[in-house]
Structure 1
Amino acid sequence: MSHGRYELSQRQWELIGEELPQPVSREDGKGRPSRSDRELLNGIFWILCSGSPWRDLPDKYGPWQTVYDRFRKWQGLGVFERILSRLRLRLQQDGYLDLNTWFVDATINRAHKAAAGAKKKKGLTRP
C-alpha cells in the first residue's frame, strides 16, 4: 500500500496503533460509521507537517472539523504523549537512543539593549 508524504506506513501504524483509544460501537447500529483512526491520524500529521490551517486539510482525510475534534480529544487524553513514550522506548530498546546523553539547557542570557542595535541615549551618565 502506498502512502502519501505525511502518512504512516503499515510498519509505523503497527508501532503506535494500539495507543489510540478503542472506538465505542453503538449497539443500535444507527449513525454514520466513523472514519478510521489511521486516516484521521494521517490528517493530523498532514496539518502538523505542512503548517497549513485546519480548513485546508485535503478531503481525503475527511472533514477538517472531524480531524480537528479528534486531535483535541486525543490531545486531552494524553494519546500523543503515550505514542511518544512508546516510540522513545522502542528506540532505546533497539539501541538508537542513549538516555545518558539527554539534557535540558534552560540558560537565559539577556543581552544589553545596545547589543541589539538600540541607540544610546545622550546625556545619561552611569552612577
Structure 2
Amino acid sequence: MSSLWAKIIGQDRTVERLRQLADTNVQSFLFVGPEGCGKELAARIFATTLITQSDKDDTREADLIMRGEFSDVNEIYRVGAAVDADEAEGIVLQSSTTPLEAKVKIIIIHEVHLMRDAAAVRLLKTIEEPAKQIIFILLADQ
C-alpha cells in the first residue's frame, strides 16, 4: 500500500498544494503544463483523492480511476481539431447527472486550450457554478 502521489516526481510543492486542495470545497481546477509533464496523471490521482478521501493505491476505486474506468470519473477528449459546441453540450448534460457510486462526479476535460469560443461560452456557467456533486478538472498545455 503506497501513496499514489509518489508517482509524481519532482513536483513536491504542487503535490502538497493538491493534497491541501482536496480538503476544500473548490469545484473547478485548471492544470496547466506542456504535453507530457504529468498533468493527466496528476488529474487522475487528484480525482482518486477526491473520490476515496485517500491517496492509497490499493482500493478498487483507485485502480479503476487510474485505468480510466471508474463510473464517476468521466474523461472528455476532443473529437477533431477542437472541442466544439456540440461536445460542450454533452459535457453540460454529463454534469447534470448524479454520481452512481461515489459522493461526487468528476469530469476531466483534456486540451481545453483547444476549445472553440462557442464551446467555452456554452461551458462557462456550468464550470463556474457546477452542481454540488460535480467537480471539474480542466487540462491545458498553455
Structure with the larger RCO, 1 or 2 (CA within 8 Å, 6+ apart): 2
Please report the TM-score for the alignment, with normalisation by the length of structure 1. 0.26
More strand by percentage:
2
More helix by percentage:
1
Q: Which has the larger radius of gyration?
A: 1
